[in-house]
Amino acid sequence: MNNLQLMRTQVLQQIQQACQLAQREPNTVQLLAVSKTHPSEALREMYVTGQRAFGENYLQEALDKMQALSDLEIEWHFIGHVQRNKTKHLAEKFAWVHGVDRLIIAERLSNQRDAQQAPLNICLQVNIDSQDTKDGCQPSEVAELVRQISQLPHLKLRGLMVIPAPNHPQAFQDAKQLFDAVKTQHAQPEDWDTLSMGMSGDLNAAIAAGSTMVRIGTALFGARDYSQA
Ligand SMILES: *Cc1c(COP(=O)(O)O)cnc(C)c1O
């Protein structure tokens, strides 16, 4: 087994064990491979091991990789901060955008999504533990944003995305509680199926609390070297 295959196998086993501990079915948690800063050859190698969903944070880097890997059937997720002037590329090129936290961003993504394409999958990013950051809406804003965004025609509002501060497992439980509570506000509650939380250092706690999609970079690809990015 090559190195990336071994790392992916270990991560999948960790997910399985966390599910077992939480008495959840292993197939209720998806693995998103976070590939920012890693070259397209590493993604190709990971793809060969069976991985299909990849998450990128930086638009230009992602567009370059899409071109280099256009022969593969990759499901591309954008997990970075969404800038208002970048929504067109996101709407055209990605299958998922996780970092939506304002109505204007969602409206732009819906307007710019080609009606011939499948609806763009969206997660609403919530600042669940009141961090000092501009990213993520407040928990108190979620209900109204869900009501509005779930009516936009070319989007499918799938759930919530959180990035809590490290060592703060209560934040995952708060996110799960919020996720369950807003399901009833969704215009299409059956679409509301995704709780995007958990990274390399905290996937066990995230899965214990109810994550359905863990976003894993370091544990899959090794440490990131930003000087190469
Ligand atoms: C980089 C990143 C990850 C992956 O982090 P690791 O600790 O390397 O697993 C997950 N989610 C987001 C939003 C990220 O930016």
Among the atoms of ligand 1, which is closest to the Cα of residue 98? 13
Instruction: Give the per-residue pLDDT at 215.
Output: 98
pLDDT, tens digit, 9 for 90 and up, residues 183-205: 887 888 999 999 999 999 999 99
User: What confidence tens digit (pLDDT) does each residue in 116-143 have?
Assistant: 999 999 999 999 999 988 899 999 999 9
Characterise 225 by phi-psi region: left (phi > 0), alpha (psi -120 to 50), beta (else).
beta
Q: Are 191 and 3 in contact (CB under 8 A)?
A: no
Indicate if ligand 1 lies below 6 Å from the C-beta of 77: no
Ligand 1 centroid distance, CA of 115 (Å): 31
CB atoms within 10 A of CB 229: 11
Q: Which structural domains are found in the chain, ordered by start?
A: 3-228 (3.20.20.10)
Q: Whose CA is nearest to atom 11 of ligand 1?
A: 215
